[in-house]
Amino acid sequence: MMIKKVKATLSEKLILIFLIILSIFVLSFTVIIKNKCLFVKNFDPQTINFDNPKNIVVLNVECGNVIIELYPELSPKAVERFKTLIKSNSYDSVAFHRVIKDKLIQAGDLEYGKKNKLDYGKIGTGKSGLGTINSEIDSEFDFKKGSVGLARSLKYNTEDSQFFIILDDEPLFEGEYTPIGKVIYGIKILEKIKYSRRSEYVLRPDFINTIRMYKIN
């Protein structure tokens, strides 16, 4: 018994080609959606000449490096605390537990924000174990996009380890929060940090990989 070969018509061939192209497009689009870092520029600090390298911090997150310049002349005690915690690697694997889209990201809860012991019920209230420091808000500092400050409770003089970075200008922060520096490279990387549409506090948050003081190789 002979099997008769059936030739596809031109319209059938065109439909098949269209389906293949559509499948490739859908697959590519899915990859782009899932890879939030795909079009974000990363920065290698070793390729950048800094005016004040002793006060440069490299914050490494999922999408790359964020370069922060610290301002010890504005807030000496706060910057000293931040540097102390960086040098002890205390911020490694700590969550960005509070994120307001296009406004603010906050991290640094060393007690309840660590990846291996995340406590959703208490995150945001944890301490460093070093005690609180006084607010340093006397200096005039313009909280522009990319500014970095130490977080506090509703009371002044309660700063510790938690810090925030603003993703938009916040003029009302002047005189309210202690500034410690500013992002000079990588603000777009921070805009990719995971946020929640329902709350400022993020379920299954993104984490800091490492924070290190800049070292010249």
DSSP string, 145-185: TTEEEE---SSSS-B-S-EEEESS--GGGTTTSEEEEEEEE
In terms of domains, do 146 and 163 share one? yes
d(CA 50, CA 65): 15
In terms of domains, do 61 and 104 share one? yes
User: Is residue 32 one of the residues assigned to a domain?
Assistant: yes
d(CA 163, CA 98): 10
Q: What is the pLDDT of residue 3?
A: 53
In terms of domains, do 129 and 171 share one? yes
- β-pairing verdict for 178-185 and 98-100: unpaired
What residues make up the domain containing 28? 9-39
In terms of domains, do 116 and 200 share one? yes
User: Is residue 172 one of the residues assigned to a domain?
Assistant: yes
56 sits in the region (left: phi over 0; alpha: psi -120 to 50; else beta) called beta
Q: What is the pLDDT of residue 31?
A: 46
Count how many domains the chain has: 2
Q: What would the pLDDT profile of 129-173 be if each residue is shown by its tens digit?
A: 999 999 999 878 999 999 999 999 999 999 999 999 999 999 999
In terms of domains, do 159 and 191 share one? yes
In terms of domains, do 106 and 146 share one? yes
Q: What is the pLDDT of residue 33?
A: 47
Q: What is the pLDDT of residue 78?
A: 98
Using 70 as the pLDDT threshold, list the residues of the chain that sit under it. 1-8, 10, 12-13, 22, 24-35
User: Is residue 3 one of the residues assigned to a domain?
Assistant: no
Q: What is the pLDDT of residue 27?
A: 59
In terms of domains, do 30 and 66 share one? no
In terms of domains, do 33 and 118 share one? no
CATH code, 196: 2.40.100.10
